[in-house]
C-alpha cells in the first residue's frame, strides 16, 4: 500500500503546480468504478464533506477490503479513485493502520480548503473504521 501511495505522490509531484494536480484529479474521476444507485443511501452517506459522498466498504472471505464509492463533485470522485487505488483489495488490517499522506505531500494541501481536507480525512476515517471493526483492531 505504501508503495502505491509513494507512486501516486510521485505522479502528482511530476505534474508540477497545484492547478495541474487539481486537473489530474478531475481527469481520473472518470476512472472510479461505478457505485450502483441503490447503494447510495443514508447508510453509505459520508457526512461532514463539502459535497455529497457515498462509500460502501465490504470484506471478502480473505478479509480483504472492497470499496464502492461516489460523489457529486469531480474533485472528490478523483480523491475517491485515488483511495480506491490505495485501499482496494487490501487486507483490512493494512487499511486500518495506513497513514494517508498524499494530500499533505503534494500541492493539493495548498489549494484545498481546510473544510475540503477535513472532508477527505472523514472519508479515510470512515473507511478505516470499517476495517478496524472487521479485524477487531
- End-to-end CA gap in the chain: 18
pLDDT, tens digit (0-9, with 9 covering 90-100), for 21-67: 999 999 999 999 999 999 999 999 988 777 899 999 988 889 999 99
pLDDT in tens, 84-133: 999 999 999 999 999 999 999 999 999 999 989 999 999 999 889 888 88
Query: The domain containing residue 75 runs over which residues?
Result: 2-135
CA distances from 71 to 19, 47, 51 (A): 21, 12, 7
Task: Give the CATH number for residue 108.
Answer: 3.90.1010.10
- Model confidence, pTM: 0.92
Domain count, the chain: 1
Amino acid at each position: 500500500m505504501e508503495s502505491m501511495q509513494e507512486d501516486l505522490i510521485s505522479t502528482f509531484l511530476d505534474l508540477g503546480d497545484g492547478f495541474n494536480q487539481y486537473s489530474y484529479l478531475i481527469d481520473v474521476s472518470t476512472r472510479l468504478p461505478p457505485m450502483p444507485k441503490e447503494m447510495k443511501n443514508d447508510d453509505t452517506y459520508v457526512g461532514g464533506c463539502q459535497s455529497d459522498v457515498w462509500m460502501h466498504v465490504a470484506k471478502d472471505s480473505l478479509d480483504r477490503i472492497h470499496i464502492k464509492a461516489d460523489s457529486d463533485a469531480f474533485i472528490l470522485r478523483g480523491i475517491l479513485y485515488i483511495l480506491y487505488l490505495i485501499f482496494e483489495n487490501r487486507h483490512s488490517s493494512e487499511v486500518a493502520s495506513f497513514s494517508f499522506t498524499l494530500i499533505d505531500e503534494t500541492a493539493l494541501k495548498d489549494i484545498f480548503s481546510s473544510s475540503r481536507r477535513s472532508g477527505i480525512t472523514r472519508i479515510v476515517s470512515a473507511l478505516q473504521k470499517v476495517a478496524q471493526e472487521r479485524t477487531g483492531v
